[in-house]
Amino acid sequence: MNKEKILIVDDEVGLIKLLEVTLTKERFSHITSCVNGKDTLLKVQAEEFDLIFLDVMLPDMDGFEVCREIRKYSEAPIIFISSCSSDFDKLTGLGAGGDDYITKPFNPLEVVARVKAIFRRKKMYEARSIPKSSQTSLTYGNILLTPSEARLVVEEREVECTAKEMDLLTFFLQHPNQVFSSGELYERVWGEDVFGEEKTVTIYISRIRKKIGDNTRNPFLIVNLRGIGYKFVPPIPSP
């Protein structure tokens, strides 16, 4: 049996049952469910989960809002489930802190593939992570990043980041002045090529730009070289 704990959030009991049966067949035995946003937030604060399925349209709260609240105290991967299939909804979900987006109706085999991909990437990341004792802080101008503590300080103020924001920022700071395409960033940071690579990278770069004080309209720290990719340009030290 797999030890990962999975939370399913949806107001459709039939869909919850479908996901439970599908995941149980794949030997996932620790499965919990909620039918509204309020109970979900209480559950996530009380327990740690390894993966969350989250419906966009809940009876009491907007799923995107629930995701933003979850991100305040959990880094668990979130897969949105929705009947809304527009690019706008998908981008909104990723921008709210989601990791993937599946539209209804869906093929159970697709769900299994997405879940396995998420856990596979997690294991790959953990396997190649540098031991905490050997990690050092990365300092550029007023940016201080300590990967081992998942801690970002900008202008002497601690800034909260999600796990994936921290991973992407760490990668940029470890490779100053090097250019990477969206596909390369997705492969290096997320682990493999799956849904929404370019859109996902664009959204995460926009988010970390805001957090490190970069100019989102005319960025000077994480620079976009049109048609080529992105690079981190270290700030010039003050005299």
Q: Residue 64 pLDDT > 70, yes or no?
A: yes
Instruction: Express each pLDDT in 132-187 by its tens digit.
Output: 444 578 999 999 999 888 899 999 999 988 888 898 999 999 999 999 998 888 88
Q: Can you list the alpha helix ranges (DSSP code H) found in the chain?
A: 13-25, 37-46, 63-70, 87-95, 108-128, 163-174, 182-185, 197-211
Three-class SS of residue 46?
helix
Q: Residue 32 pLDDT > 70, yes or no?
A: yes
Q: Say how far residue 34 (Cα) sits from the centre of its chain.
A: 21
Q: How far apart are CA 235 and CA 82, in angstroms?
A: 42
Taking all residues of the chain, what is their mean pLDDT, rounded to a whole number? Answer: 87
**Confidence grade of residue 15 (pLDDT, cut at 50, 70, 90):** very high
Instruction: Express each pLDDT in 208-238 by its tens digit.
Output: 999 999 988 889 999 999 889 999 999 876 5
Specify which residues 145 forms β-bridges with: 138, 152
Q: How far apart are CA 9 and CA 186, in angstroms?
A: 27
**Confidence grade of residue 128 (pLDDT, cut at 50, 70, 90):** low
Better pLDDT: 33 or 235: 33
- Per domain, the residue ranges of the chain are 2-128, 132-232
Q: How far apart are CA 137 and CA 140, in angstroms?
A: 10
Domain 2-128: CATH superfamily is Response regulator (3.40.50.2300)
2-128 and 132-232: identical CATH topology: no
Q: Are 63 and 18 in contact (CB under 8 A)?
A: no
User: What's the pLDDT at 91?
Assistant: 86
**Confidence grade of residue 33 (pLDDT, cut at 50, 70, 90):** very high
Q: Residue 124 pLDDT > 90, yes or no?
A: no
Mean pLDDT calculated for residue range 116-130: 70
Share of the chain above pLDDT 70, in %: 91
Structure tokens at 34: 């909620």
CATH no. for 132-232? 1.10.10.10
Q: Residue 194 pLDDT > 60, yes or no?
A: no
Radius of gyration of the chain (CA): 19
